[in-house]
Structure 1
Amino acid sequence: MLRTWKTVLLTGVFTLTLTGTSYVSPDLFPTSNVSAASASVNAPGQLKKAETSQLDEIIKRGYIRVGMTGDYKPFSYLNPETNEYEGFDVDAAKELAKDLGVEVRFVQTTWSDMMNDLLADKFDIAAGGVTRNTARQKTAYVSQGYITFGKAPLVRAEDKDKYLTIEDINKPSVRVGVNPGGTNEVFVRQYLPNANVTVVDNNLDIPHLVADGTYDVMITDTVEAMTYAKADPRLYAALTDKPFTKSEKGYMIPRGDFVYASYLEMWMDEMKLQGKFDELYKKWME
């Protein structure tokens, strides 16, 4: 009898304790069955309809459109003899298309029109020696860098010790040739206001015009300067070890597309990890 009384008392205390702590045992109080699937469907994040990424559109259409100027060796060059693009970023674009399982189609643009053409959906990605900077990042999405470079003077070999500083070049007597609309012109306008500057529409013409004496200096990237100096013994790429600036090259896509941007960044990581960017550097720049 005593044992039965103690059992009843303990059961009552245990029940009151659980109720007071807001714990409700399913064994003590029956509840309605709540579906976990129903809760997940009604979660706030599930109520939003995901927008289609440009990545999905590229894969669906079966090709990626790559915007290039075709005038910027060794990154992109539209060979007039073959009417085909060639260069570091041409090969990189083909690798990107291969990884996506699509074809690549190159779309010609200019440095002045590149941003507007990208925003007008004339191509999916801009490549071919695009410099990473905050000005471009305000309007588009610029990827991580894949090669470091700086602005430096391309001069005649006989003048290799003549134009070594900004002060040496920033004079009315110094004739500077520059292509329009890109970071080369931005640099020249900012740092060489006193030089005799001429804007040359075709960037490919400027090295030859320096070599034949029409201009004294071409301000360009160290990589391009070395490429032209290697091809023409009349030219010299100055300050390639200590350029005036330091920047990186990247790729540019429309901003606001997280899926597309994430894929691009991972693809670039893989290109670096697998040594493919190094292979392209050796092919086009050494």
Structure 2
Amino acid sequence: MKKWKSMLIAGTVAVSLAGTGLAAYVTAAGAQQAQPAATVADSAAKQEAKKKFESRLDEIIARGYIRIGTTGDYKPFTYLNPKTGQYEGYDIDAMKEFAKSLGVEARFVQTSWPTLMNDLLADKFDIAVGGVTRNTDRQKTAHLSEGYVQFGKVPLIRAEDKDKYKTIEDINKPSVRIGVNPGGTNETFVREYLPNANVTVVQNNLDIPGLVANGTYDVMITDTFEAIVYAKNDPRLYAARVNDPFTKSEKAYMIRRGDFIFASYLDVWLDEMKLQGKFDELYKKWVE
């Protein structure tokens, strides 16, 4: 009898332990199943939030304004007027039209040529404008729109020197003093084609034309349009080679890459601006 009772107690304990283990297993298995379910639900929520704005285009329209990065130092495309504290110029007017087409407000954000790309990638603004040159180096990192106007690099010089600096060879000499703004395609051109010239980097691009006019520098390498504008406003200056620039390029607007919807809208808008003669109007207003 005692042996039978001992066997019964042992069996009961074994069953109890087995039951406890089974319960623990079931509980653990349930937890393991619940965890992926929660993760899936969280992932689904994130995907749903992402779907809310399929493109930056949708996000801009939803928030009611577009952030436009610009340097404010590159006439006639962008200029921060110190008297009014407002941006003005060819691309400023164009971006107001772009915002209007979206039904949103245009908000301008200060940037600089050396930081333009990094600021765009850091999401400080939605689009970069203001005389941005369309080239493959920028396209490797961002997305450049269709070109909207053609131009080239030319020398802005003193009117008295208009027969002195006609070619690269005329300018690429140690005796020729060049003033150039940092971080943009002007400096890139100077470093590549004028390595023998006496080059000074001037932080404020707006200062360089006046420094050429007063004799501090002999040459400013810049875009066709900027040279024309400064020569028109200061009789001491002369825009050389505007009909035969050293290079040929296009201006474009720059956005972050990978957003086909936003990029497509931007290019369609550009086509419409060209078809309706809007860019011709901007050229007459800011260049001629």
Q: Shorter-chain-normalised TM-score: which range?
A: 0.7 to 0.9
Amino acid at match of 1:137: Q
Alignment of 1:226-237 (within 5 A): 226-237=228-239
- Structure 2 counterpart of 1:200, from 186, 199, 202: 202
Deviation per CA, 1:137-176, whole angstroms, max 9, x where unpaired? 0000000111100000000000000000001000000000
Deviation per CA, 1:219-278, whole angstroms, max 9, x where unpaired? 000110000000000000000011100000000000000000000000000001111111
Deviation per CA, 1:181-205, whole angstroms, max 9, x where unpaired? 0000000000000000000000000
CA RMSD of aligned residues (A): 1.3
- Structure 2 counterpart of 1:241, from 228, 240, 243: 243
1:183 aligns with 2:182: no
Q: Give SS of 1:130's match.
A: coil
Q: CA deviation at 1:280?
A: 0.7
Inter-partner Cα distance in structure 1 for 2:285 and 2:270: 18
Q: CA deviation at 1:119?
A: 0.1
Deviation per CA, 1:46-67, whole angstroms, max 9, x where unpaired? xx98562100110011000000
Q: Give SS of 1:64's match.
A: strand
Which of the two has greater helix per residue? Answer: 2
- Structure 1 counterpart of 2:218, from 200, 206, 216: 216
Amino acid at match of 1:111: W
List alignment gaps of at least 5 residues for structure 1: 1-47
1:58 aligns with 2:66: no
1:165 aligns with 2:189: no
Inter-partner Cα distance in structure 2 for 1:88 and 1:110: 18
TM-score (norm 1): 0.83
Identity percentage over the alignment?
Answer: 77
Inter-partner Cα distance in structure 2 for 1:285 and 1:236: 15
Q: What is the aligned partner in structure 2 of residue 275 from structure 1?
A: 277
List alignment gaps of at least 5 residues for structure 2: 1-47
Amino acid at match of 1:155: I
Q: What is the aligned partner in structure 1 of residue 9 from structure 2?
A: none
Q: What is the aligned partner in structure 1 of residue 286 from structure 2?
A: 284
Q: What is the aligned partner in structure 2 of residue 24 from structure 1?
A: none
Q: Give SS of 1:85's match.
A: strand
Q: What is the aligned partner in structure 2 of residue 34 from structure 1?
A: none
Deviation per CA, 1:27-46, whole angstroms, max 9, x where unpaired? xxxxxxxxxxxxxxxxxxxx
Q: Give SS of 2:79's match.
A: strand
Amino acid at match of 1:180: P
Alignment of 1:97-176 (within 5 A): 97-176=99-178
Inter-partner Cα distance in structure 2 for 1:279 and 1:157: 29
Inter-partner Cα distance in structure 2 for 1:118 and 1:248: 20
Amino acid at match of 1:179: N
